[in-house]
Structure 1
């Protein structure tokens, strides 16, 4: 996939095309038949809400045509995964996990890639020899809600680099840069050596960027680590962890930050970089 994203195509469209293809691959792997009654209910209510907005705000034909043009361009840019994951997914996640007892989850976002390299419990993520950024030791333990350590739990982690770019969605990055699947030890513990990611703007040169500009919004996401944590007999959790002091923790464009997900790293015991401990508690499946 990295070959398809070159220096000349580092655009919202290129990133959107990669995100769209990843989503299609996921759908092919886990496709399920839709319940026609649910489709009828959800689509009918969605359209009714749109009709109500049109009536209340007296939408003009000029505004309607501008909307049509923008919707078409979102598809042409391949930005539907970005649009949906930034502005809708946080509510879907809230509803889907409202009964969760263990650790808090949040959105997956459009930049997840499955099958990242397998790594041991004490691991360093794949990175370039001169990877920029502050070294970060992220460590913790995975347990069940009853406190039982979950030996061999899988801790998938991925995040942006110090420039705010994700491997497989930006030019020049090695395929699995800052991505890995760590297997916890017999006591459920893990230690992951990486670099602290940077805040970044979602792509602004495409249709989503035009919406942001037209509405007078900002495009920033706070720095974050993405994680999927799983163990046999337990519910997988998808989450993001943020950093205390980041100026966009309070106004994340994706509305995905929760107080329980904010890290406060301190100086590393090794004397190099920073470190933080965060434990995961999984619900029984």
Structure 2
């Protein structure tokens, strides 16, 4: 099986994530009032100023920060940096009102319009794709308990080497990416492989920060999902596996107890049951 392990780089993945972000995400804020822009910008800068005063930041440290910020942009790693270290708080604030399922960060590697597989099917994958076969069954309902027929469940995850299709070379375009639509009773069944833990790219600017700070770069194994239905709020989440050594110290701070799966042995692999409750819009 061909993998990307020999040729994927942080810069290449970062550039792909940056281009995808610019084409997909820069909408919805055109009419933000100047007063709100001023408030947010001013308070962020005030927090930076207070950090400088509190820790007596030197000019050498300041210039190192400038050089590092420039390299983040040159490496195309702003989506990676923000999604790893900032997005989890934005997600927390944006969804604190919800009564249904807990969500978590999207991350930098989502791609819309993945192949549709119906209410029961397998994600596209290479022949002999590494990983334990995993069968996932679940149901999508509203907070009032009613089944949501025709709900959309989008799934994507990394391969056994920690790489995502469309962001690393030598991987088929839709590998380990698919969309599913619930049946009349709100049910779905997905067949994929269990992903592995992986390190975020460390050969670029984010890796330099990790090394300088003495942090680790690991994310626990996880499945990404987006779940949507007419008249309901979009749910974005990641689902995790018990026993992963990085569930408690995920570099992206995205793990929540409510997102933990419970795999059971099954013929030829493992099986999980996990459903979603969506809040009305």
Give the TM-score of the pair, scaled to structure 1.
Answer: 0.95
1:207-246 → structure 2 map (5 Å cutoff): 207-246=205-244
Of 178, 186, 189, 2:187 maps to 189
Match of 1:53 in 2: 51
Of 10, 13, 18, 1:12 maps to 10
Are the equivalent residues in 1 in contact too, given 2:150–2:184 (CA < 8 A)?
yes
Match of 1:248 in 2: 246
Say yes or no: does 1:273 pair with 2:281: no
CA distance in 2, matches of 1:74, 1:248: 25
CA offset digits 1:21-49 (Å, max 9, x no partner): 11011135656332211110000000001
Of 108, 111, 115, 1:110 maps to 108
CA distance in 2, matches of 1:31, 1:250: 34
Say yes or no: does 1:101 pair with 2:92: no
1:5-44 → structure 2 map (5 Å cutoff): 10-28=8-26, 30=28, 32-44=30-42
CA offset digits 1:36-87 (Å, max 9, x no partner): 1111000000000100000111111100110000000000000000000000
1:262 to partner: Cα distance:
0.6
Match of 1:163 in 2: 161
CA distance in 1, matches of 2:239, 2:59: 43
Unaligned segments of structure 2, at least 5 residues: none
Unaligned segments of structure 1, at least 5 residues: 1-5
Structure 1 pair 40/158, CA: closer, same or farther in 2 (3 Å)? same
The alignment partner of 2:35 has SS state of: helix
Say yes or no: does 1:259 pair with 2:248: no
Match of 2:77 in 1: 79
1:9 to partner: Cα distance:
5.1
1:8 to partner: Cα distance:
7.5
1:230 to partner: Cα distance:
0.5
Structure 1 pair 241/37, CA: closer, same or farther in 2 (3 Å)? same
Are the equivalent residues in 2 in contact too, given 1:7–1:172 (CA < 8 A)?
no
1:164 to partner: Cα distance:
1.1
Give the TM-score of the pair, scaled to structure 2.
Answer: 0.97
CA offset digits 1:120-139 (Å, max 9, x no partner): 11110000111111000111
CA distance in 2, matches of 1:89, 1:154: 23
